[in-house]
Structure 1
Amino acid sequence: MRKRFTEDEITQLSQSPYVKYIRANRISFTFEFRTMLWERWQAHPSITTIKKALYEYDLDPCMIGSPAIHSLQEKFKVNGRPRGGKNKAYGEIRKSSLSHQGTTEILLSTGKFIKSGWGITFHPDLVNEIRQYYPDKSIEDSLRDNGIDPAMVGYQRIYQLKRKLAGSTFSYSRSHYEGEWIAHLKDHPYVKRANSHQLSLKDCFYQDAQCFNTLPIDEILQIFKIDPNRMPMQWKSAVKSRINRWSGHEQLPICDAKSPLMIEINHQRIQKLTEMIDECFARVKGSIKDMSPSLRKILCQWIRTLPHDRHDYSLRKVLDKVGISKSSYYAILSDPDYDRIHCRDEQDIRLIQQVLDSEPGYPMGSRMVYMKMRQITGQQFGRKKIMRLMRKYDLLCPVRKASASRKAARRLLEHSRKPNILKRQFRLQRPLHVFLSDVTYLKYGLNQTAYLSTVKDATTGRILACVVSEDNDLRLVEDTIDQLIDKVHEGHLLFHTDQGVLYLNEYIQDKLKKSGFTQSMSRRGNCWDNAPQESFFGHFKDECDYSWCTTVEEIRSEAEDYVEYYNDRRPQWDRNKMTPMAFEKYLTEMDDDAFERYVSKEREKYDKMMARSKEKALRRAQELGAIREEI
């Protein structure tokens, strides 16, 4: 139901330069203002976009009313860009607007149109090209193939071209309705008369075709088994015109319902009606989010009146097609005040807007609105209601809102994080079975950065892969894994890293899995779970002087030299004072009994380390007051 404007509202709105005219039950905006609204709506198609634009032009959406705003949106969806209209001046722009001139210039710039009198017309070459494929290919499709929007050309120009092509496509001699085609038409259940110079259809045809009046005439004739390509354009135009004018007389008798052709026609009619109904339901589903509560209630009341005896159109099926849950359907029908909620929201959002406008230039969130509302407006809403209304009318505070990139990183972490299988058991396996990897940055030259990625054998301490790159990307980790694969044997291999984003990547994880590695990750923010690898980076930065380097190649050469020194010539105190290469050879040559004794000693060291870590953690928890000291 449209809103009825009061005298004060009519006086106030009629003073706006954007209102064409206003009466007690109707308001109309100028053509230029509707065009501006459409352009804003096209960028963000929603009721909120229209309301925000009205606010910007000093037009109160609550005064205009929801029905008028929803009507604008429906016209935008169905008709597209506003066209024509006798509007009063909008600033200095009148009906001969710049947009119309711009359209003419765009069409002329394509080379497919020429000037003709006061306007433009199709170029003869374009007409000949369209005539070559017409009517098998419509004029609209031919224009699109040439990169021209039919909506920009306009219905009138396309219609005039259709009439012109109709005169050159069909022959209107007596021989057009002759031969086998006439015999076929005489047996057609919807044909009233067919001879060499006349073809007329029965009234029952127009009665049955009236429900398809939104379809093109060619499609209608195909449904009723009449070949549209054999019919002249003027005859088809006359038939379509009569279908549109059919006013629904008294029910006419069914035409020969038992004939095979009629059965096939009825089957096609049912199939097409089903498609049209599904399309209507799909359009309703697409606009359900923008419907006001009153329209939703009307929709649910209409669904209740439908017959639900067919399986395809049972209540559940219909609700699924329009996008309403069954619980919402019954809740809407059972709540007598459901359609009043929107009107209350319109009034309440004005109070929230009043609070937001009290401090111009400073953004407010729901908490700030809640704290200041009673002081400014004299009324108080709950914070959840304030949040709901600010979200509904797109008034959310942009300060400190949730970061989309942070949310994406959190989802990636939850989906791709691997368990900590190693648990600091660095020396309890044979050589070349457990591998530690990480990436560190190296500053060099004039504030330049290179990235070093290595893989370390957890048992022997030997560096098995070393890659330096200008970019910290997947290629860096991929090259590191490729170097490692060339030096390891098949078996139970464990690849341990931290929870860096490169190791959470699906491609890297698939590559490790296909190469026979089981992936393990440190706990979040715990560098001790990858301590040997971090230790190597510390020794490298302390002992290797790369401050003189100015290029990545020089950094790479220094890193490779240091790795060779670290593996072959630098002994380690806790590895029997051997270099990593010598210690690897020492462990490899051990027999099984000797290696078991070695592992048992390393196990004792590991247990003592874990006990010290537990004791340290308990002492730290007591210092922080997380647990009480035992008396």
Structure 2
Amino acid sequence: MLAGQPKYRQAAIRRRWKLETYQLIHDCHQKYNWKIDLMCKWAKIARSAYYKHFDPQRQSSQREERDKRIEAKIIAIAKSNHSLFGTEKMTMAVNRQMSDERPIYHKTVYRLMCINGISSQKPRYQKPKFKHTTPEKTVENKLKREFNASKPNEKWCTDITEVVAPGLPKAYLCTVLDLYDRYPVGYAISKHNDTALVQSAYEQAIQAYPTAHPLFHSDRGFQFTRAPFQNQLKKQGMMQSMSRVGCCIDNGPMEGWQGLIKEMRVVLHSQVASYDELNESICKTIDYYINQDPQKRFNGLTAGEMRQEAMKGNIKNCPIAPNHRIEKYWQEIHEKKIKEAKKILS
């Protein structure tokens, strides 16, 4: 029963067994008048531990009382979002709700989540296959993977993804995302992956921020390479940027955000019976992300809270933390190319 369980859960199970043994010894002594000393010896537990457990003057320690409060918050949050959060986000969420107490560390949350068998329920997706199209007009990659932004409406990126549910038509989601705070400034949902979908998302973003002139980054889908759409961006005073062919990492934040939203939707709204319900579940998931999903990069604030602070003039500098594993990977690729070039020259 203990094999394969996390160490914190193993410790909790052992403790529960010990408490049940204490209770069993107590019941047998009351009902059958069996000797406590003998039963403690059979159960291989200290007699002093048994008496201490049933000491009427014994009180819970401050840590035990605090753990109970934290545990109640963890269980309530997990029930409210169907165990959407892992340890990191659960820690931020609990700290938001218990801000009047001293900070709660992730090891405490991890321990209590293990004890209660709570873990993140995010599913994994297979990447959909898309048909290649011939672009009408392309532009260079001006973003160049500089995903940090110093203020709102400085850099926008966009993409289209399909959201699927068993037995229902696909829903296509087009989102315009601000790279400063990962805030969706505009999005649209449709049964068709067409120009009207992109136009609707773009117009929603412009209506929300009519004076914005950001760098507008996308892939080379036909919806973004059309001359009318490019002219529209120029009229708005936007500079267009496009990912290179076959380099989805050039639009990495957008790709990651879409995957996050689809994972969250399945956990928060797993049962949808119609296309309208699927559409509604996407909207509710985006709203949950904006208002209730704490971000480590923003020190526990949500994307919506970051946006509200920025609109008040309180611009916060929250650069993306470096990923040393990816940096090492690209360094190895670079060194390999140099070696191959030297071999060719020699």
Which TM-score applies when normalising by structure 2?
A: 0.54
For 2:308 and 2:232, locate their aligned partners in 1 and report how far apart those are by CA, in whole Å. Answer: 29
Shift, 1:424, TM fit: 1.8
For 2:235 and 2:306, locate their aligned partners in 1 and report how far apart those are by CA, in whole Å. Answer: 30
| Letter aligned with residue 618 of structure 1 | H
| Secondary structure at the counterpart of residue 416 of structure 1 | coil
| Equivalent in the alignment of 1:452 | 173
1:617 alignment partner, one of 319, 322, 333:
333
Shift, 1:620, TM fit: 5.2
Superposition map of 1:51-450 within 5 A: 409-410=133-134, 413=135, 416-446=137-167, 448-450=169-171
For 1:536 and 1:553, locate their aligned partners in 2 and report how far apart those are by CA, in whole Å. Answer: 22
| Letter aligned with residue 271 of structure 2 | W
2:152 and 2:310 in contact (8 A); partners too: yes
Change (3 A) 1:627 1:467: farther
1:572 alignment partner, one of 291, 295, 312:
295
Q: Does 1:585 find its partner at 2:308?
A: yes
| 1:4-63 deviation line (CA, Å, top 9, x unaligned) | xxxxxxxxxxxxxxxxxxxxxxxxxxxxxxxxxxxxxxxxxxxxxxxxxxxxxxxxxxxx
| Letter aligned with residue 431 of structure 1 | P
Shift, 1:549, TM fit: 2.5
For 1:425 and 1:490, locate their aligned partners in 2 and report how far apart those are by CA, in whole Å. Answer: 23
Which TM-score applies when normalising by structure 1?
A: 0.31
Shift, 1:466, TM fit: 2.1
Change (3 A) 1:619 1:538: farther
**5+ unaligned residues in a row in structure 2: which ranges?**
1-130
1:517 alignment partner, one of 231, 238, 259:
238
| 1:559-586 deviation line (CA, Å, top 9, x unaligned) | 1111111011101112222101222234
Total equivalences in the alignment? 212
Shift, 1:419, TM fit: 1.2
For 2:326 and 2:211, locate their aligned partners in 1 and report how far apart those are by CA, in whole Å. Answer: 31
| 1:407-436 deviation line (CA, Å, top 9, x unaligned) | xx54xx3x5111111112222331122111
**5+ unaligned residues in a row in structure 1: which ranges?**
1-404
Change (3 A) 1:495 1:609: farther
Change (3 A) 1:443 1:611: closer
Alignment RMSD (CA, Å)? 3.2
| Letter aligned with residue 304 of structure 2 | M
1:430 and 1:459 in contact (8 A); partners too: yes
For 1:494 and 1:609, locate their aligned partners in 2 and report how far apart those are by CA, in whole Å. Answer: 28
Q: Does 1:534 find its partner at 2:251?
A: no
2:195 alignment partner, one of 459, 466, 474:
474
| Letter aligned with residue 559 of structure 1 | I
Structure (1 or 2) with the greater helix fraction: 1
Q: Does 1:503 find its partner at 2:234?
A: no
Change (3 A) 1:609 1:493: farther
1:454 and 1:467 in contact (8 A); partners too: yes
Change (3 A) 1:557 1:607: closer
| 1:168-214 deviation line (CA, Å, top 9, x unaligned) | xxxxxxxxxxxxxxxxxxxxxxxxxxxxxxxxxxxxxxxxxxxxxxx
Change (3 A) 1:627 1:538: farther
Shift, 1:454, TM fit: 0.9
For 2:336 and 2:300, locate their aligned partners in 1 and report how far apart those are by CA, in whole Å. Answer: 34
For 1:520 and 1:560, locate their aligned partners in 2 and report how far apart those are by CA, in whole Å. Answer: 27
For 1:548 and 1:482, locate their aligned partners in 2 and report how far apart those are by CA, in whole Å. Answer: 31
Change (3 A) 1:620 1:500: farther
Post-superposition, which runs of at least 4 consecutive aligned residues in structure 1 deviate over 3 A?
585-591, 605-614, 619-623, 625-629
Change (3 A) 1:628 1:585: farther
Change (3 A) 1:610 1:444: closer
| Equivalent in the alignment of 2:319 | 602
| Letter aligned with residue 173 of structure 2 | L
1:495 and 1:517 in contact (8 A); partners too: yes
2:158 and 2:176 in contact (8 A); partners too: yes
| Letter aligned with residue 319 of structure 2 | E
Superposition map of 1:548-559 within 5 A: 548-559=271-282
Q: Choose between structure 1 and 2 for higher RCO, CA contacts under 8 A separated by at least 6 residues.
A: 2
